[in-house]
Copies of this chain bind each other. A is one copy, B any other.
Amino acid sequence: MASWENKSTDPAVQQMLVKAERDSVATVWDRYHDMQPQCKFGEAGLCCRHCLQGPCRIGLRGGKPLLGICGATPDVIVARGLARSIAAGTAGHSGHAKHLAHTLKKLARGQAPDYTVKDKDKLQAVARRLGLFVDGHQEEEVALAVANAALADFHEKDTPVQWVTTVLPKQRVEFFQKHHLLPAGIDHEIAEVMHRTSMGCDADATNTLLGAVRCALADLAGCSMGTDLSDILFGTPVPRGSECNLGVLGPEWVNIAVHGHNPVLSEMIVAVSREMEEEARQAGAERINVVGICCTGNEVLMRHGVPPCTHSVSQEMAFMTGALDAMVVDYQCAQPAVVTTAACTGGTVVTTMEIAKITGAVHVDYSEEKAKANAREIVRLGIKAFRQRQGKATEIPPIKQKVVTGFSVEAIVQALAKLNSDDPLKPLIDQIVAGNIWGICLFAGCNNVKVPQDLNFVTVARRLLKENVLVLATGCGAGALMRHGLLDPASVEESCGAGLKGVLTAIGEANGLNGPLPPVIHIGSCVDNSRGVSLATAVANRLGVDLDKLPVVASAPETMHEKAVSIGTWAVAIGLPTHVGVVPPVLGSQAVAGLLTAGIKDLTGGYFIVETDPEVAAAKILAALGERRTALGLPTER
């Protein structure tokens, strides 16, 4: 690797990388370097290990591509691999949602006394949306009915998955029904993809991809359910301020990072840490400082203003400061390497979920029945680690950024209602029509070690903001943009075009902020991409059109996880042009690549824009928005 800039554009991470090199601590960038060159077959999707006659890798022989031993074509192999990625991604998001459903069910049955229904209005709203009886029923009854409806969405029943059919415009649901794309059950679709992609089953790439699209819509269900149930259990976010980046750690504090995705655990860590300050002080600390990493971080940032210390690819850097006492992991996106980093730099990795242990970590078997007791045990591990590091040097980069966060759809609508209480979406639609908002872009997905950290996010977002695109962000994408100041209202002035600036300022002023909303509207964690869908659906319903008519796009410029592949696929399925800035393993099949980037547009209206150059990507995103504006008859001169 040539320089720190080629690894990360975040100065805090750059400083830690100097320290890592000095201290001979290997990082994800070193492992990436060691892995070069990466397998060209795998990169192209032309590797198959779906049976024990393989592995097969599709090279050329006499200028023509080989076939797999079974006769599978490159198209089939690429499509099957992609489909399995989507199944895995769906399993992640929906496993998270299922966990929340069980938590809500336990709460309703009195088995999880540390949990309460924090947002009673949302519980009622979700229940009503699902067609459940609400009036005259106890809260526990409604909660139980919602939890059971959620769990029922995992298996086949007479009706398709409700967390798809009730979250999209009617036209889109009818379109999916007509094309047999409505998932019958979330786990059912995952299993079916695994079945059809096994040796000797589906050997028609288009057919496989249609099955994968149905599975990806099950992923949308998982995301939507995850958001709904988290809001019910932990409160629907409202705007609030915080700070981010490694500078939020303090040498004299017990620093505990909650890492992973599911707020089920991190909410309890946040709660008990407030009650355990005295224990921390007895250990010599000034206080307990809970910080976030990845989407668990986003969840507690959105609801409590807990500051995220970093995200995604740079998670090891939290330990490199020497000041992180415990990293508490639930599941997904935790690099197993953090155990080694912790061993080098001090600090403890605590795993908590049966499905996500890490060899070398301390495991606390978390259960909702004993939530606070387990959480206290975990916080105590942090306090113990703090004791052990007392007197040792830390190096915390003095870098942090202001963040305004908490923009649930409910909060956005409420903010807009200050402009028009009868028809809150009208001001937004009017500004889109007028061109002061050129379109909407939802940034999502991860960092990826293949991209200098945050470079693509920041480059594309800055260009779009200048062109008056309203930018929403979730997950580690929001993390990237917040580390570069774009969740700070103070940066509106330099980053936004005049039209957008006017809109953000008008909404901010109407809400008594004495200034604008931030340039980037943070709508949550990666399951909260569902909030983007909810907002787009609200706008579409208000206009009476389907989603594929709206000037709305999605972008995952540094995507890494299989979950992101699922999200991108449902984004395309619901009709959005969807940019990815890392090439997925599909280039081994012109048919598959062509279908995803062009052919599918005729079916769903959405399509993938695969573009690794962020400047070019921004231009393509703007062109896609322009095409939508033209089709709607909206002004297209800028």
Contacts and interface: CB of A to CB of B under 8 A. Distances in A.
Interface of A: 28, 31-32, 34-35, 38-39, 41-43, 47, 49-57, 61, 66-73, 75-76, 81, 84, 87-92, 94-95, 151, 154-156, 180, 185-188, 190-205, 207, 211, 260, 331-340, 354-359, 448-450, 559-565, 582, 584-585
Given A195-B95, A199-B560, A55 B71 contact: no
A73 B359 contact: yes
Contact of A355 (B70, B91, B199, B202): B202
B204 A357 contact: yes
B200 A335 contact: yes
A331 B51 CA distance: 15
A191 B187 contact: yes
The 10 closest A-B pairs by CB, nearest first: A71-B337, A42-B55, A203-B336, A91-B194, A187-B187, A200-B333, A155-B155, A204-B357, A95-B195, A91-B195
A90 B195 CA distance: 8
Contacts of A188: 154, 187
A559 B199 CA distance: 13
A69 B28 contact: yes
Contact of A52 (B53, B187, B334, B564): B564
A635 B55 CA distance: 45
A71 B203 contact: no
Identify which of A91, A186, A211, A450 gathers the most chain B CB atoms within 10 Å of its CB: A91
Nearest to A81: B49
A197 to B, nearest CB: 7
B52 A199 contact: no
A564 to B, nearest CB: 7
A198 B562 contact: yes
Contacts of A43: 55
A585 B49 contact: yes
Contacts of A207: 354, 357
Identify which of A42, A53, A55, A68 gathers the most chain B CB atoms within 10 Å of its CB: A53
Given A39-B57, A49-B81, A204-B358, A91 B561 contact: no
A20 to B, nearest CB: 14
A151 B187 CA distance: 13
Contacts of A193: 91
Contacts of A155: 151, 154-155, 185, 187
A156 to B, nearest CB: 7
A92 B50 CA distance: 12
A194 B41 CA distance: 23
B562 A51 contact: yes
B88 A50 contact: yes
Nearest to A196: B355
A192 B450 CA distance: 28
Contacts of A582: 52
A190 B43 CA distance: 26
Contacts of A334: 200-201, 203
A195 B331 contact: yes
A42 B52 contact: no
Nearest to A45: B49
12 contacts: A52-B448, A52-B565, A88-B198, A91-B192, A95-B191, A155-B155, A198-B562, A199-B560, A200-B331, A200-B335, A204-B357, A205-B359
A67 to B, nearest CB: 6
B332 A199 contact: yes
A31 to B, nearest CB: 5
B563 A198 contact: yes
Contact of A335 (B35, B55, B70, B450): B70
B204 A561 contact: no
A585 B52 CA distance: 8
A191 B190 CA distance: 6
Identify which of A356, A449, A564, A584 gathers the most chain B CB atoms within 10 Å of its CB: A356
Given A70-B337, A87-B194, A91-B193, 5 more contacts: A28-B71, A34-B61, A71-B340, A91-B191, A155-B185
Nearest to A330: B201
Nearest to A187: B187
Nearest to A58: B35
A54 B43 CA distance: 8
A134 B202 CA distance: 39
